[in-house]
Amino acid sequence: MIGECQWHSPTYEVSMFIWIGPKQKQSGLSEDWIKGFFRLSSWITIAITFCIIASLAYETIKFFTYVSPNDFFFNTTWSPQTAFRSDSVGSSGQFGIIPLLWGTLFITILAMIIAGPLGLLCAILTSEYLSTAQRSFAKPLLEVLAGIPTVVYGFFAAIVLGPWLRNSGATFGLDVATESALAAGVVMGIMIIPLISSITDDVIKAVPSSMRDGARGLGSTREETIINIILPAALPGIVAGFIMAISRAIGETMIVVMAAGLAANITANPLEAVTTVTVQIVTLLIGDQEFDSAKTLSAFALAFALFTITFILNWIAYRNYKNAINRLRQ
């Protein structure tokens, strides 16, 4: 068959030979193995994720046999008591999640007040003002912040920033707690600046150059082009970056454990101590615990609630980011 093809068309004969040759068959076999490995890895990842969610849901259902959902979601007092065994009579703990959600939200708001403007400005600087050489130096330097372990940020908040805020407040006659929402919020804001900056930078760079050129051709300055053309075009992606940063802040543990405190307060004063969902999860699971008590099982209920919130936020952010990129590429 190959000889017949060679008589009619040598070029076609060569292509057919390559197609049916043993090397090409080996290459196709290798590709099948690689694709199979990727599919297997994907299914394993999905299965592990499903098992984690199922275990959280199972323990959460067990928790609601001790505490009613109404008390958990609408009670304003968080005061878990000593763990009770399954054969004990009753439990006197208060398991209202509202103070923990408020502390988490409050610290996240403080962090976004710091990280939002700074991250956006850094993204505009790296994408619109710096040259290629300057950008290749500045962007990795900024993203080094993302590689610092969160426990280092926690030490900075607990040892440096917290005492400094307390001493500065005493100078002005203010009562500032060493562990405060402000200390945790400021340090967490510094930590998530690279996340906002990186996502926003990618979205801004995806804005077509024709839009910039058209605005400049009509007489707009660079600043007017950024404010009136680029930022509105990239707004969905910028919002996605902000939502992802919020989700990251909500799930942070070490900074708030070391800097925010354990007091389950509902307060709008950033100088007071508050606690978060992640702090209480860590606190409840430290040491030897009985997993048939409301106190210990409440950690799984908190984790399931936290997972649900962050999953929804990440899904919204992902949809906005993909839609923004696809719209800008059209």
Q: Enter the tokens of residue 23.
A: 């090397």
Contact 273, 177 (CB under 8 A): yes
Q: Is residue 68 part of a domain?
A: no
Q: 56 or 320, which is more confident?
A: 56
Q: Is residue 79 part of a domain?
A: no
Domain-terminating residue out of 22, 47, 63 = 63
What is the model's pLDDT at position 283?
86
Q: How far apart are CA 193 and CA 316, in angstroms?
A: 20
Q: What letter does residue 180 receive in the DSSP assignment?
A: -
**By residue range, what is the domain housing residue 140?**
94-329
Q: How far apart are CA 226 and CA 212, in angstroms?
A: 8
Does 107 lie in the same domain as 14? no
Does 153 lie in the same domain as 58? no
Over residues 99-129, the pLDDT tens digits come to: 999 999 999 999 999 999 999 999 999 888 8
Does 133 lie in the same domain as 35? no
Does 168 lie in the same domain as 121? yes
Task: Look up the CATH number of the domain holding residue 186.
Answer: 1.10.3720.10
Over residues 276-285, the pLDDT tens digits come to: 999 999 888 8
Q: Please state the separation of Cα 280 from the chain's center in Å.
A: 19
What is the model's pLDDT at position 113?
95
Note the pTM of the prediction, 2 decimals: 0.80
The closest of 153, 162, 187 to 271, measured between CA atoms, is 162
Cα-based torsion angle of the residue sequence 99, 185, 172, 265 in order, rounded to the nearest 10 degrees: 10
Q: Does residue 81 register a pLDDT over 80?
A: no
- The overall average pLDDT reported for the chain is 83
Q: Does residue 323 register a pLDDT over 90?
A: no
Q: Does residue 88 register a pLDDT over 80?
A: no
